[in-house]
Amino acid sequence: MKYNDLTRRYFESAAGAGVLVGPGTRRGAAGSRAQGTWVQFDVQVETNSRDGAVQAVRFLAFACPHVIAVSAWVAEQAVGHAARAQLPDGVHSLRERFGVPVEKLGRLLIVEDAWITAVTGFLQCNGREARAKGEKLR
């Protein structure tokens, strides 16, 4: 399979790979190793701020290079923005940006599910789900 430059760059560096623990950290995972795609995000959010700014994100993935690259990009892009129960960019836009074949769209939905699960845990714990619903990272 041929990968575009962005996919190769994020896959090769995977700078956000790892695990976070500690105060303000929530974890969300989706998918299945048995099915070939599993993604986990650990999201650390500033719990004392009004908007719940994302301080750090790490991810783990058992997946193809496209999913690993997209997960690394999401981890990078989210830092410094208010926690939102949506990816920094839509799944279809990410598919185009990273040159993901349409038959792999379901794998990107797993990335989205893992992100939503992690961030929703924070929003629910802090009563921010109503304010954050439907808003994207800016």
In a domain, 112, yes or no: yes
Query: How high is the pLDDT of residue 133?
Result: 47
**Residue 132 within any structural domain of the chain:** no
Q: Is residue 26 part of a domain?
A: yes
Angle subtended at Cα 89 by Cα 33 and Cα 71, rounded to the nearest 5 degrees: 30
| Statement: residue 118 has pLDDT above 90 | yes
How many structural domains does the chain have?
A: 1
Distance from C-alpha of 4 to C-alpha of 118, rounded to nearest angstrom: 28
- Cα gap 123→128, rounded to integer Å: 5
CATH number at residue 80: 3.90.1010.10
pTM of the complete model: 0.87
Per-residue pLDDT band at 101 (split at 50, 70, 90): very high
Determine, yes or no, domain membership for 56.
Answer: yes
> Is residue 55 in a domain?
yes
Q: Residue 94: inside a domain, yes or no?
A: yes
**pLDDT higher than 60, residue 44:** yes
Q: Lowest-pLDDT range, 92-96, 97-101, 114-118, 120-124? A: 120-124
Residue-number span of the structural domain to which 30 is assigned: 5-126
